[in-house]
Amino acid sequence: MGDPLGMAITHAVASGMGGMRAAGDLVARMQIARGMRIDEAKKYVADKLNVSVRDLTDPIIMNEVRDDLGLGILHPNVRSPKCMEAKFNIARLLDIEINCVNRFKEKASL
Amino acid sequence: MGKIHTRYGDGSPVELEESEVMRDLENGTQDAAERGNVPALSKEEIQHLFDIFSSPYRFVGVEPGKEIVLSYDGTPIKLSRTQVNVDRLQCLQIYEKLLGADTLEMGYLDYSFKPIKSMVTYEQPLIEQILSVTTAPVFYGAMPNLPLYTQPDGPFPNPAELLPQGKIEEARASYEESVEHAVRDIVYVSSALYECGADAIILDTVGAAGDADYLASLKATEVLKEKYPQMCVELGMAGEFVLGMHGEMTYNGELLAGMYPHEQVKVAEKAGVTIFGPVVNTNTNESSPWNVSRAITYMKACCEVANIPVHVNMGMGVGAMTVHDHPPLDMASRASKAMVEICRLDGL
């Protein structure tokens, strides 16, 4: 229940990491793949991206970092890695298994 | 002494004296401490909550660096309820690109594993398409919803009819059979979606039908983790303590009935749950300071003993959020900030 403005957007603005605007999806991946708690997950991602933990929620810094590393951004250019392509790069950079990436490779005989 | 604008648990506005806010904060934590047998909040933590509630701003947020990860339940249903006519794929794109979502959650309108089982072949191609056009992790969520296995919706006698007749053993037998069927359905559907590439499975509103509902979810998690060791399972609860509808169900020798969040998370860990979502129910007759203080007392105790990420449920009517379809931003943002800053939690 609850309308998205009152619930999802409120939490995203008050406490969230910003998703793809910043590095929220990447930190979430470490909880999913390794069961890391928040501080460990943030540090792991920050180290891999060579940024500070505080930078992880900064959309200006993270947009540039994500664009440079091909991790997917909100407004991708024509040649920017997007979606599945970006997830290939995320899996490699974070050194994790991503289920759909592995299945894509398997089906495409990569 | 000034007045503080705040809310009741149902969201209706109220102005309280500073002393009344402080009293409610102290009473809320005391209530949780006594019921859950957990430590009450310290004076410093109560003062921090008071500072949050006495802030004059309409919206507040956590200090930079304390942000946490967000996961969701019933995401596509939210847009359907508000009659925004987009398909589920576009719904998840909206959450990813427009709402700052850290994770995405795909789910069916009839949000239970049993009805999904018969049409899961229609869910599989859709989640494959979603995974090909999104970047954030995609969860698939549904509820164990044990009542669907009892008459008139399912094959087994209805405990709600048997219990008033004093047929305790028959009711217990019905719950036990329902558990086995629910485990099979949860494993079937979760396997089907995971094999299409889903990043994680969410078992949502667990325990809504009591200890049998919780046991089914724990057993299903155990089977899934055995089958797919890498699978992420998020288990989100329905209430603050496990109702003993059966009363004698155990997991690994632990009686499930009556467990509070700090106990629930330990059995969840044993079952192989990756992310745990505890719940504290909102009391509509009490003020928001009372509800926030009470909810945080339970959640802090849960987070302190957890070895896995904890995503506290803060949707409508839980985690001190108001029981209203349109949560007021002043209250929702205060509850969000307070929960994140005082508990050592990993997500909401």
Domains within chain B, CATH numbers bracketed? 3-342 (3.20.20)
Searching chain B, which residue's CA lies closest to the CA of residue A21? B100
| Residue listed under structure tokens 């660096």 | B65
- Main-chain phi, psi angles of B246, to 5 degrees: -90, -50
Check CB contact under 8 Å for B64 and A84. Answer: no
Q: Looking at CA atoms only, how far is residue A38 from chain B in angstroms?
A: 5
When pLDDT is averaged across residues B1-17 and rounded to a whole number, the result is 93
| Cβ-nearest to A2 among B68, B138, B315 | B315
Give me the pLDDT at residue B255, please. Answer: 98
Give me the pLDDT at residue B1, please. Answer: 58
Give me the pLDDT at residue B51, please. Answer: 97
| Cβ-nearest to B67 among A6, A17, A71 | A17
- Residue B111: count other Cβ atoms within 10 Å of its Cβ: 18
Give me the pLDDT at residue A2, please. Answer: 67
Give me the pLDDT at residue B141, please. Answer: 97
| Cβ-nearest to A7 among B100, B315, B346 | B315
Q: Which band of pLDDT confidence, cut at 50, 70 and 90, is reported for residue B40?
A: very high
Kindly report the CA angle at B120 between A86 and B232, in degrees rounded to 5? Answer: 50
CB-based contact B194:B217 (threshold 8 Å): no
Searching chain B, which residue's CA lies closest to the CA of residue A12? B100
Q: Which band of pLDDT confidence, cut at 50, 70 and 90, is reported for residue B72?
A: very high
Find out whether the peptide bond into B13 is cis, omega within 30 degrees of 0: no
| Cβ-nearest to A20 among B135, B328, B345 | B135
Searching chain A, which residue's CA lies closest to the CA of residue B322? A2
Q: For residue B334, is pLDDT > 80? A: yes
Distance, in Å, from the CA atom of A109 to the CA atom of B14, rounded to the nearest integer, reads 63
Check CB contact under 8 Å for A14 and B326. Answer: no
pLDDT tens for B101-115 read 999 999 999 999 999
What ipTM does this complex have?
0.97
Check CB contact under 8 Å for B69 and A82. Answer: no
Task: Identify the residue among A100, A103, A105, A107 best suited for mutation to test binding to B, counting B beta carbons within 10 A and taking the highest.
Answer: A100
Report the candidate in B269, B235, B267, B234 with the shortest Cα–Cα distance to residue B251. B267
pLDDT tens for B142-161 read 999 999 999 999 999 999 99
Give me the pLDDT at residue B49, please. Answer: 98
Task: Identify the residue among A1, A36, A66 best suited for mutation to test binding to B, counting B beta carbons within 10 A and taking the highest.
Answer: A1
When pLDDT is averaged across residues B261-270 and rounded to a whole number, the result is 98
How many A/B residue pairs have CB atoms within 8 Å? 202
* Chain B neighbors of A19, CB-CB under 8 A: 70, 96, 99-102, 136
Q: Where are the domains of chain A?
A: 5-107
| Cβ-nearest to A103 among B95, B197, B200 | B197
Q: For residue B293, is pLDDT > 90? A: yes
Q: Which band of pLDDT confidence, cut at 50, 70 and 90, is reported for residue B77?
A: confident
* Chain B neighbors of A35, CB-CB under 8 A: 232, 274-275, 308-309
Check CB contact under 8 Å for B64 and A4. Answer: no
When pLDDT is averaged across residues B274-297 and rounded to a whole number, the result is 97
Q: For residue B178, is pLDDT > 70? A: yes
Q: Which band of pLDDT confidence, cut at 50, 70 and 90, is reported for residue B76?
A: confident
Distance, in Å, from the CA atom of B306 to the CA atom of B9, rounded to the nearest integer, reads 28
| Residue listed under structure tokens 């164990």 | B144
Burial of B273 (0-12, 13-18, 19+ CB in 10 A): buried
* Chain A neighbors of B65, CB-CB under 8 A: 53-54, 57
| Cβ-nearest to A54 among B60, B65, B196 | B65
pLDDT tens for B180-197 read 999 999 999 999 999 999
Report the candidate in B220, B219, B186, B236 with the shortest Cα–Cα distance to residue B73. B236
